[in-house]
Amino acid sequence: MIRVLFILPYLALMTGAATAWSQAPAESPYYARTNTFSLFSAYSGDSSHIILGTAENRMLLDFGAGYSRKLFLNRIVNWQYNGELLPVALESDPVVLNTVNWTSPTVHTGSGIIVQSGPCVPSSGSFSSTQNGITYSYTYTNTCGRQWTVGEAISPAGFQWNFLPRRKQQPFVIAHGGYMYSTQPIPIPAAGSFNFTFDFGAGLELFHSKTRSMRAEYRIHHISNHGTAQFNPGIDNGLFQLTYSFGR
């Protein structure tokens, strides 16, 4: 009887420990955060007619932050809402630096900047003409440069689909829609300062842990004013982006 009294508390303690162990939540097998915050930079060194844009030789340099929210998750896909804010969105246009040296009827020099619709080609030459007995003569030199325009952008409508979310290396596709405001019209003076944007692309996300990751991706990025200005050449870029993400 005495032995039973000593054994019963021991059995109760072991039973309670086993129950607590069985009730402890198992670690999730998914590399998938519910809320994700990110910092990124993006660059494109050229533009061409990829989809809708016709302005060539435009460059983009962006710095921004993003937010993602998990919407649906299973073994195959992690579907997320994704929005981006770009407080620094820089766009560069090719320009001609034009210098004119008048030799007749007076001697003076003038200069100016001409924004090109396409790539700049250096050139030089001379001109001479006589009108009403007066000779007008000058030489000119055109050299190439770039003009950077500062802007801000936001892409509030976006989604991201990560595939194989149980793995640390996850391929994904992504797409956004938004708008951009610049301090002067882009990509030519007769276009607008307010433009609409959209992008879509794919990449690879590498998880260091369940909460932190890096993304490398390539996107097709489009900018245009949708006919709200006199001209709408539009800009299509192939954009490379690196993103650091964290959250829970």
Instruction: Tell me what pLDDT residue 123 has.
Output: 87
Instruction: Tell me what pLDDT residue 7 has.
Output: 52
How many Cα neighbours within 13 Å face the side chain of 135?
7
Paired residues of 60 in beta bridges: 44, 91
Integer Rg of the chain from CA: 30
User: Residue 41 above 90 pLDDT?
Assistant: yes
Instruction: Tell me what pLDDT residue 23 has.
Output: 54
The answer to which of 35-44, 93-102, 160-169, 189-198 has the lowest mean pLDDT is 93-102
Instruction: Tell me what pLDDT residue 28 has.
Output: 85
Q: What digits encode the pLDDT tens for the residues 172-184?
A: 999 999 999 999 9
**Residue 13: pLDDT band with limits 50, 70, 90:** very low
Q: What digits encode the pLDDT tens for the residues 146-177?
A: 999 999 999 999 999 999 999 999 999 999 99
CA pair distance 236, 20, nearest whole angstrom: 59
CA pair distance 176, 158, nearest whole angstrom: 4
Q: What digits encode the pLDDT tens for the residues 94-113?
A: 998 889 998 888 888 888 88
Tell me the mean pLDDT in the region 200-224. 97
Distances (CA, A) of 131 to 102, 119, 134, 136, 166: 16, 35, 5, 8, 80
Closest-CA residue to 113 (of 148, 88, 139, 89)? 148
What is the average pLDDT score of the chain? Answer: 90
The DSSP 8-state label assigned to residue 26 in this structure reads P
Amino acid letter, residue 124: S
Instruction: Tell me what pLDDT residue 10 has.
Output: 47
Tell me the mean pLDDT in the region 42-63. 96
Instruction: Tell me what pLDDT residue 21 has.
Output: 46
Residues 31, 170: contact at Cβ < 8 Å? yes
* Residue 97: exposure state from Cβ atoms within 10 A (0-12, 13-18, ≥19): middle
CA pair distance 4, 123, nearest whole angstrom: 106
User: Residue 44 above 60 pLDDT?
Assistant: yes
Q: What digits encode the pLDDT tens for the residues 86-99?
A: 999 999 999 988 89
C-alpha dihedral sign at 230, 231, 234, 235? negative
Bond into 94 cis (ω within 30): no
Closest-CA residue to 52 (of 195, 241, 237, 239)? 237
Q: Which residue has the higher pLDDT, 221 or 116?
A: 221
How far the first Cα of the chain sits from its last, in Å, is 54
**Residues contacting residue 16 through CB under 8 Å, at least 6 positions apart:** none
CA pair distance 85, 90, nearest whole angstrom: 13
Tell me the mean pLDDT in the region 4-20. 48
Evaluate whether the domain defined by 28-92+148-247 bears CATH number 2.40.50.140: no
Paired residues of 242 in beta bridges: 41, 216
User: Residue 60 above 70 pLDDT?
Assistant: yes
Instruction: Tell me what pLDDT residue 17 has.
Output: 46
Distances (CA, A) of 192 to 51, 181, 232: 19, 9, 8
